[in-house]
Amino acid sequence: MSTAQYLPVWCAACARATLQQVPPGNVSNCRSCGIPTSVLPGQTYLESDSALFERIQVAVLATPLGRRTAEQVEKQLRDVAIRGDAPELVLLHVLDHLPGLHFLLPALQLQPSPALERALLLRATGMLLTIVVAGAKHAQTCSARAG
């Protein structure tokens, strides 16, 4: 398994985020349309995280969020690890807005997660935060251009 780091990138043409390897000082191109992408702020990931990132991206795209809802979701997700909130509880609140994320909480158990599951849920909340913020900024830019 590769230990290369993958960064979240945004394609403005496709209006979606993906994980890609981006060598320092380089710009990556969108795998779908080929135009240059922008690196998004957030965590770095491994190649093995790509499937989870894509699944979260698909769930977010399936339920477009309005500006206020995106801000609420962002507020709920921001600094989950630092606050010490149980990621399961935070994700339960987010599921009200993004029901396609139900796969992140298979049994919706409100018991403390084992360490590995907690780490996965924290990574997932970081991915979700990155995708929601990027999508909200894109929507804001598009509405500013249209108005």
> What does the pLDDT read at residue 115?
67
What is the tally of helices (H) and strands (E) in the chain? 5, 4
Between CA 10 and CA 31 the distance in angstroms is 11
Residue ranges of domains in the chain: 5-146
Between CA 77 and CA 28 the distance in angstroms is 27
- Measured in residues, the chain has a length of 147
> What does the pLDDT read at residue 107?
47
User: For 38-66, what is each residue's pLDDT tens digit?
Assistant: 999 888 999 999 999 999 999 999 998 88
pTM of the model: 0.84
Query: Dihedral sign, CA of 79, 81, 131, 6?
Result: positive
pLDDT tens for the 147 residues of the chain, in order: 456 799 999 999 999 999 999 888 888 999 999 999 999 988 899 999 999 999 999 999 999 888 899 999 999 998 786 777 788 888 888 999 999 998 887 645 555 557 667 788 888 999 999 999 998 888 777 666 766
> What does the pLDDT read at residue 105?
75
> What does the pLDDT read at residue 6?
94
> What does the pLDDT read at residue 109?
53
> What does the pLDDT read at residue 116?
62
